[in-house]
Each structure stands twice: as C-alpha cells, then as structure tokens.
Amino acid sequence: MTYVVTENCIKCKFMDCVEVCPVDCFYEGENMLVIHPDECIDCGVCEPECPAEAILPDTEEVAEKFLEVNREYSEKWPNITQKGDAPADADDWNGKEGKFEAHFSPNPGDS
C-alpha cells in the first residue's frame, strides 16, 4: 500500500504535505506533486495536512487511477522537502472537475 496524490492537487499545490513526510518521498511537477510509491511508508501523516484533500490511500478507487501517474512522475520529477509558495489562484482551482485532462503538466517543478 502507498498514499497517492490525486487530481485535486493540480493547480492547487499548497505543499503543506511535503514538510510532514518523514521519508521525503514527494516529487514536484510544474503544477502538482506526486508520491513515490516505493518510498512511501504508509504512515498517513500527510493525508490530513492537504487542504485540497488530494492525498488518499491507494485502497480508494479514485487513488488507484493516479497510482501510475505517481509512479511514473516520481521517477522523472525532482524531490521536494520544503514548502514553496502556492499559486496565487490555488483556492480558485480547489475542487474543480476535469483538471487532469485539461491541465496536467508533465514538466518538472522548479521551486
């Protein structure tokens, strides 16, 4: 089992999650973060920290879809351990539907 970052992180990217992870297994894309499934120790500490409620255990159906996204991009994006600035319009995107199809960016983050 692992925890997974799901769609609602896209364009929210509040990053409260990265500071609490004891094994630093978050990786940063241009507009979302992912968790490396093999590094996550399933502690669950990050889940309640996410204001977007985007972090879920992979036992949830919606998280299953994102498991491969987390796996693929945690190999490609840089590790992130410190919270950066959330996008100015992050709150406007919180809860919007269809963000993966319309807005997912495969580019790495740079904070």
Chain centroid to CA 21: 12
Contact letters (x/-) for ligand SF4, 17-56, by CB under 6 A? x--xx-x-x-------x-x----xxxxxxx---x-x-xx-
Non-local CB neighbours of 43 within 8 Å, separated by 6+ positions: 22
Closest among 37, 33, 34 to 1, alpha carbons compared: 37
Does 16 contact ligand SF4 by CB under 6 A? yes
* Integer Cα distance of 79 and 61 in angstroms: 26
- Closer to ligand SF4 by Cβ: residue 83 or 101: 83
Q: Which residues bind ligand SF4 (CB under 6 A)?
A: 3, 5, 9, 12-17, 20-21, 23, 25, 33, 35, 40-46, 50, 52, 54-55
